[in-house]
Structure 1
Amino acid sequence: MAAPAANPFTQVRANGLAFAVDDRGPRDAPVILLVMGLGTQAIAWPEPLIDGLLAQGFRVIRYDNRDIGESTHLHATPAPHPLLYLAGAKIGLRPRIAYQLSDMADDAVALLDALGIADVHIVGASMGGMISQLVAVQHPTRVRSLTSIMSSSGARDLPGPNGDIRKRLLSRPAKTASREAKIAASVETIKLIAYPDPLRSDAEVKAMAAAAIDRGYNPMGARRQLLAIIADGSRVERLKSVTAPTLVIHGAADKLVPLACGIHTAASIPGARLEIIEKMAHDLPPGEVQHMVALIAGHAHQADAAIRQPQAAQ
């Protein structure tokens, strides 16, 4: 595969916002839409994964969610501290927040409308998995298949991150922090949640962190996204209505969204298949990328074949 342009992203207007979109592959190929997680930009999708999916015959689209990267940052909207929001919720008072996860699901569909795409194989990681689940719930005719990676059903009794990771999620460098301090904090977070894959060097981790800091640093956007996750609560009842063929992928070593969350997600969606990757935590480790390409592409091809069968019989 030829290397992508230095900046493959273009701006697309949808749902009243501007989104940074990277759209590759034949226009008439089945589409895989990649949706990234909390506070994480679309550049976190590994190039070898994108190349692998393109080689499998797909058109591959990734985009920055609202409030992160090169998409619209909603600076003028509310961003109460998550602990304040949780404390208020316990006594029946919910501080106003900027948007809901359902709004972010509508963003994805609005992007499809703007790009003239009828339906997709939607693939979401972490919060992106939650958004993808809601696209399948709210817009079932737009989803050919669903792949939810290292995500959760949101059920209240599921285990959460350990104390160190929870503290990291709720903290951020000071506004006056230097670029190097921001990069160092990001590297610390990555190392805290990622699998210690020997194929990923410290230099590569630092380069990933630096690229994200330089491209679209917006910690308050990440806070607003976290509030949207908290406010969405349990999706268990909603997930019962998912009709799209569903694959759930989860890392056995995930300390941020423990494996029990992936198991419960698969159990909550009718007919969902669960794939557990032993050498994976809350990341897309280089050593497992080709395995993930095979899982995602195989699932999408199978869904497409099932769609073609009834059409051929008519």
Structure 2
Amino acid sequence: MPNEATNGIQIEYDTFGNRSFPALLLIAGNGAQLLFWDAEFCELLAKTGLFIIRFDNRDAGLSSKFDEAGIPDIMAAIKAAMEGKKIVAAYSLDDMAEDCVGLLDALHIEKAHICGASMGGMIAQVLAYRYPQRVLSLTSVMSNTGNPNLPQGQPEAITAVLVPSPTERKAYIEHNMNVWRKIWSPGFPFEENRVWTYLEKSYDRSYYPQGMARQNMAILSSGDRTSSLSSIKVPTLVIHGSGDPLIPVEAGKDTARVIPGANLLIIYGMGHDIPTGAWPEIVTAISRHIQNVT
């Protein structure tokens, strides 16, 4: 896969479709590599007439790592955030949004449609209000506004995500299979073979759990983005699952309420994942959203 030097770091990326088509930048969530966006899912989007770009966020996959920043104490940071104290992070969601702009610059793309999932949705939101001149449309998937008053995720799901992964390959895969079961869509069958293959590829490509901890700190340090989100003027689609155990559906409703003119799509039974059974509805929704803009 190609990579580009931008914003002082290296960004690994991959593309699908015709470069002459409108660009759609896909931003992955906390700890996830570009593999989160299945190649088959990207191909489906590309077939709707889009040039798809997926990439590794900083501190994930084959993009630049921030080892010199050390491994933060996430539990202490969560406690501090709950007490309203300032969180000091190695980098911010703003920095990660700047990485996206830098990648678009390196690819000579002036404006793009932006879609992010979970933490990626937060980064996409920051892009939309900080760089509106670079964003054609925004799609925020299973994300939130940072509003501390929203309902929190289920304790089991939160604990599963925060427990450190084992270092040995098989143990890592088995541990994370359990994590995926905890956050999986309750209205869709668990895709054991697909998830197992995804975890194998992720481990073999780049086992790097410390990056996830620093990305968590970036999320915690961003605080409540509600005020900034209310300034977004680009066409916005919010997609959320009704059964999300990690970021409850109320967060999606809040995002759509805060961003002026945003459309909300709630997918019944979807959790904190994108099951293949939901692909047709999601691809159609994103495609129509983009077509209405372009």
TM-score (norm 1): 0.89
The question of 1:98 aligning with 2:90 is answered yes
Matched-pair contact (CA < 8 Å) for 1:197–1:287:
no
Which of 250, 263, 276 is the equivalent residue of 1:260? Answer: 250
Matched-pair contact (CA < 8 Å) for 1:52–1:293:
yes
The 1:125/1:93 distance shift into structure 2, 3 A limit, reads closer
Partner deviation per Cα, 1:10-60 (whole Å, 9 max, x = no partner): 111111111110022222210010001011111111223211111111100
Q: 1:78 deviation in Å? A: 3.9
Question: Which residue is 2:36 aligned to?
Answer: 44
For 2:223 and 2:3, how far apart are their aligned partners in 1?
31
- Three-state SS of the structure 2 residue aligned to 1:33 is strand
Q: 1:196 deviation in Å? A: 4.9
Partner deviation per Cα, 1:102-158 (whole Å, 9 max, x = no partner): 100111001101110001110000000000000001000100000000000110101
Q: Could you list the runs of 5+ residues in structure 2 that have no partner in the other structure? A: none
Counterpart code for 1:301: Q
Question: Which residue is 1:294 aligned to?
Answer: 284
For 1:14 and 1:166, how far apart are their aligned partners in 2?
33
Question: Which residue is 1:115 aligned to?
Answer: 107
Matched-pair contact (CA < 8 Å) for 2:184–2:190:
no
Counterpart code for 2:249: L
The 1:134/1:209 distance shift into structure 2, 3 A limit, reads same
User: Comparing 161-170 with 246-255, which one deviates more in the overlay?
Assistant: 161-170
Which of 247, 251, 256 is the equivalent residue of 2:237? Answer: 247
The 1:159/1:231 distance shift into structure 2, 3 A limit, reads same
For 1:90 and 1:124, how far apart are their aligned partners in 2?
26
For 1:201 and 1:256, how far apart are their aligned partners in 2?
18
Which of 12, 26, 45 is the equivalent residue of 1:20? Answer: 12
Q: 1:77 deviation in Å? A: 0.9
For 2:246 and 2:288, how far apart are their aligned partners in 1?
27
* Larger of the two Rg values belongs to structure: 1
Question: Which residue is 1:160 aligned to?
Answer: 152
TM-score (norm 2): 0.95
Q: Could you list the runs of 5+ residues in structure 1 that have no partner in the other structure? A: 1-8, 305-314
Number of corresponding residues: 294
- Three-state SS of the structure 2 residue aligned to 1:60 is strand
The question of 1:66 aligning with 2:55 is answered no
Question: Which residue is 2:67 aligned to?
Answer: 75
Identity %, equivalent residues: 38
